[in-house]
A and B are shown apart, each in its own frame.
Chain A
């Protein structure tokens, strides 16, 4: 399994479903595999060694169980149905997905659960499962499992129809919750707008979509669309979760950026260069030179604002759109924004109620956005207060 360099345990990548099997507790033979797709992926020996994690004791029923043993990962959701009609008064079954040990499987857990519940309801209604297992002819079940495996592996979604019932299965990426969206942040599409299927999204999102252009910040979008700002925030956060947009800092000529170690990628990666040239051009007819673009990025450092840089380099003469240049750099991680955080010293003594204090957690952008001031106004105001210092980071 670990032969492939790319796939080692903990690589965090998703892998295909290797096998799906249904096992049950046979009244005489004990745990056994009723049906397996593909055949004999899990051998009898392996199954016997792991069976007590697959058909577990009572307390573990209806828990998502994942056991990593012998180079594979088995996901299951064991279920027990209590009913007098079954031998031993109960019917135990578990539908399991098998993946490689290196693969990440969290995203499959809801799928296993939903599929199991679908089978459970069919069993309760028509004894769909137990009939097949007692007759020994599990073709219908096998077909269903085969379909699930193929469809999920290839399309990440699947629609199952058995008799008159239908169920839909989709793999949903499991991400951690994105951070709260701030008013001064700017949403940017991560891929082209054309591939975005608008009717998958809610009305508010559709309303704000045209204004997400990589330059409008959240509160401006709210103003332009006449949508309540908290709704805009929620929509953007939702889009961030699904990886449709990302958030970048607002573009200002007084902003300071700093190159990151990734900048050197621009010197050697032809793909990146091509993208950068196309993206940052003022017009598609006249493309800027990579060396000029690199020079612009290289000029970004602590203490020099975009305004200074533009004065020095004159990007318009180099056919460079500096706004797009900054945006590209941020998206590709070639540069990062350097924020200014005002912080009030000695705020404990003779605190005047009229003077606002700053705790160093809020950057200038955010303060400007809150107060509806321009950066220069705010900076002027803060410069006058000798108690306020700036931390630039």
Chain B
């Protein structure tokens, strides 16, 4: 496999010259082959082609023999890898025939024997790869080499580790070569032959059977650094995840995602760039599905790992959306999505749409299932009595899981088992979820000016510009872009309601929704991200030595301090989070904060002040309720069945204005954009206020502004257009761009707080102008094997 390294080399170069100190693997059984070759050459019957006008021997085209490197001597490699000082501390890449060497030559000061004059030494840890390995694989290996170099530099500075280890290695080399010269005293000619014949074996390979081992073998026994390198190589080959403690001090964590994902899914190659793109498309309604047991994962995280990650994993459930997780773990969505990025990168999780009964699954096109596939047995072991093939054949026709469960789901007794079963299938990428997208059938197709001439460029939707890559591990930022539309900055607190109602698999998981507004102030979270996501390791690898990983706890503390300092602080969410934390003493101050910030927000938005007047009271009420009943809030939320709440909220919009729903009110306050509860209708904030004030629906004409005259004409002919409410909802959704085939029904439900049945009814009523199509969510499908 081209993902695996062929070899690892350790070369030094100092005033005493360059030397290949260690390589792994070092034993090659080409002794016989070289002998055969030798005899073959002397075959008297062989025809020598004198026609060959090129006097040099035929050129070698491959340096890989049976999966191992061949054709390079150690001396040659050491001269190649001992680069000139000008090339130090930058990427070294050399391709010879079909082998690519990549490394990061590191120049570091080290102490020579007694005198303290620090001389410079160059070390280069080089990986040999197959030349066909993709660029992103090469980049990962380069990064690993760089980190190893850094770790060694650190350890050399701390306790002269490198000096000691090099002494051991050099001593072993000298020992073996002196033994060699003794042994080979009588057969010099043969030794010369060996040196001439190009072989990858060490020069002492010949003596393998008679007494002394090769120098590398000795080194491996004596040197801990050599053992670390061996461990690095072997972990790369087996799992792709390297966890090595250099000198029992510096923990080096590294993940080669191309390999790591193959542990769970053979043949699935996920490049860091793909994960980047997936993260860019991550939305609050997405969820995560762990590939491993959460307890195992918790156990594998080092002690100094990020506490945010620990909390996230403790609260994990495939039924929860990222937003729910964020709220429960007291993190921002941005943090959660970055943690998701980590988990996906390390092949610990994948991105899904949270499991619920409304989900529609089909067999993934890349699913490699046949009678003899090992998955069949694995499945039978995991779910006794069920047959994988039969299970998959049940997914031949797309149907919501609900129906599946109703039919008894081919032996899946209870719905819990069905959920586990689906999760298993999703982990193996055997199932793919279909979503319904809606396109408004405008009479003017392609009138959008964008994309007209960039036809070819825009074709590949998986190929968004992705320049800074996820794999640039040592650079400080993780590439999560700012959400494009303002809508995304705000998470609608009560939009979670959609999940529990659909989801009877595990109701308690969705039963409470803490109102919180994520992202009002980007700056302070940037601090957090910098330290947290410097590397894609749970604990920051080498750099952790110097810097402490900032935990969210600290960050919260900062927030508090900040909000206390500033009386006019505009950090809405800090106030809220404090409230939730039950900081009763700060109630007044926070209320002030919120008042001010609300004023700010409203002013910024340029809304009439009556909105703030109206809403502020509600906020205060809500907040006070929130604070006072911090603990029993959850219970009260649970008491009200989500279904009931939904019907309250959605079917009778009038009641909504009078009977204050806690979450709703908070939302209308906190979100930096107009409330979008359907019955309050309205296209903008002012309309919303109007709707609140006057029971009459806002003028339909203004809502219809969003349609072109032609579209209006088309709508006019529809009987459904006579219903004001329906038309308003349509106009509202259309205005927000939900009918451009970009957002699936679940996203509309999530963002706009409408129910599925309501949307389906709307789609049905306006089916002449709305075209639906079913396809997969590109963000999720990205992590599936290419077809």
Q: Interface of A with B (CB < 8 Å)? A: 5, 8-10, 12, 45, 48-50, 52-53, 56-57, 59-70, 79-82, 113, 117, 120-121, 124, 258-265, 267-273, 289-291, 294-295, 297-303, 332-333, 336, 338, 343-345, 347, 357, 359-361, 389-393
Contact = CB atoms under 8 A, between A and B. Distances in A.
Contacts of B43: none
A301 B387 CA distance: 26
B53 A80 contact: no
Contacts of A8: 467
Contacts of A66: 94-95
15 contacts: A62-B60, A64-B96, A69-B90, A124-B55, A262-B461, A264-B740, A264-B742, A269-B455, A270-B452, A271-B453, A302-B774, A391-B392, A392-B395, A393-B364, A393-B365
A112 to B, nearest CB: 12
A60 B775 contact: no
A65 B774 CA distance: 50
A9 B135 CA distance: 8
The winner among B367, B389, B772 for most chain A CB atoms within 10 A is B389
Contacts of B92: 69
A42 to B, nearest CB: 14
Nearest to B438: A298
A240 B455 CA distance: 24
B180 interface: no
Nearest to A52: B79
B198 interface: yes
B71 to A, nearest CB: 7
Interface of B: 53-60, 63, 71-73, 76, 79-80, 83-84, 86-87, 90-97, 134-136, 138-139, 198, 362-365, 367, 369-372, 387, 389-390, 392-393, 395-398, 434, 437, 439, 441-443, 445-446, 448, 450-456, 458-459, 461, 465, 467, 740-742, 771-778, 781, 787
Given A267-B740, A343-B371, A121 B53 contact: yes
Contact of B369 (A79, A269, A301, A391): A391
A92 to B, nearest CB: 11
Contacts of A69: 87, 90, 92-93
B773 A270 contact: no
A120 B54 CA distance: 8
A298 B455 contact: no
A267 B741 CA distance: 8
Contact of B362 (A9, A80, A302, A389): A302
B459 to A, nearest CB: 7
Nearest to A277: B445
Contacts of B60: 62-63
Nearest to B741: A264
Contact of A294 (B94, B364, B439, B459): B439
Given A302-B397, A392-B362, A49 B84 contact: yes
A65 B60 CA distance: 12
B370 A60 contact: no
Nearest to B82: A52
A389 B397 CA distance: 13
B752 to A, nearest CB: 20
Contacts of B441: 291, 294-295
A5 B452 contact: no
B80 A268 contact: no
The winner among A49, A59, A295 for most chain B CB atoms within 10 A is A59
The winner among A12, A62, A82, A268 for most chain B CB atoms within 10 A is A268
A267 B445 contact: yes
A219 to B, nearest CB: 24
A345 B387 contact: yes
Given A60-B96, A347-B371, A392-B396, A68 B363 contact: no
A265 B459 contact: yes
B73 A59 contact: yes
A267 B437 CA distance: 12
Contacts of B84: 48-50
The winner among A53, A271, A295 for most chain B CB atoms within 10 A is A271
Q: Chain B contact residues: over half helix, strand or loop, or mixed?
A: loop
B775 A259 contact: yes
B439 A268 contact: no
Q: Chain A contact residues: over half helix, strand or loop, or mixed?
A: mixed
Contact of B363 (A65, A262, A270, A393): A393
A16 B459 CA distance: 25
Nearest to B60: A63
A389 B96 contact: no
A270 B371 contact: no
Contacts of B198: 59
Contacts of A265: 451, 458-459, 461
A256 B398 CA distance: 13
A53 B362 CA distance: 54
Contact of A59 (B76, B136, B776): B76
A105 B445 CA distance: 42
Contacts of B465: 5
A298 B439 contact: yes
A198 B76 CA distance: 50
Nearest to A340: B396
A336 B787 contact: yes
Contacts of B772: 298
A298 B771 contact: yes
Given A259-B774, A393-B364, A302 B398 contact: yes
Contacts of B55: 81-82, 124
Contact of B86 (A49, A113, A263, A270): A49
The winner among A79, A300, A303, A389 for most chain B CB atoms within 10 A is A389
Contacts of A121: 53-54
A268 B255 CA distance: 39
Contact of A360 (B371, B459, B775): B371
B369 A259 contact: no
B781 A261 contact: yes
Contact of A336 (B365, B443, B450, B467): B365
Given A261-B776, A295-B441, A392-B396, 4 more contacts: A81-B55, A267-B439, A295-B771, A298-B772
B439 A391 contact: no
Contacts of B450: 268
A302 B361 CA distance: 11
Contact of B54 (A49, A117, A295, A302): A117
Given A262-B461, A298-B773, A359 B372 contact: yes
A357 B372 CA distance: 13
A63 B96 contact: yes
Nearest to B453: A271
Nearest to B465: A5
Contact of A263 (B54, B59, B367, B775): B775
Contact of B389 (A45, A259, A333, A389): A389
A263 B458 contact: no
In the complex, the 7 A-B pairs of residues with the closest C-beta atoms, listed nearest first: A271-B455, A10-B135, A298-B773, A62-B59, A360-B370, A264-B741, A392-B396
A69 B101 CA distance: 12
Nearest to A48: B84
A79 B56 contact: yes
A389 B410 CA distance: 13
A48 B134 CA distance: 30
A391 B451 contact: no
B271 to A, nearest CB: 10
Nearest to A58: B76
Given A264-B439, A392-B363, A297 B393 contact: no
B393 A391 contact: yes
A343 B390 CA distance: 9
Given A336-B787, A343-B371, A303 B398 contact: yes
Contact of A302 (B73, B97, B434): B434
B54 to A, nearest CB: 6
A10 B56 CA distance: 35
Contacts of A260: 775-776
Contacts of B392: 391
Contacts of B390: 345, 389
B94 A301 contact: no
A391 B431 CA distance: 12
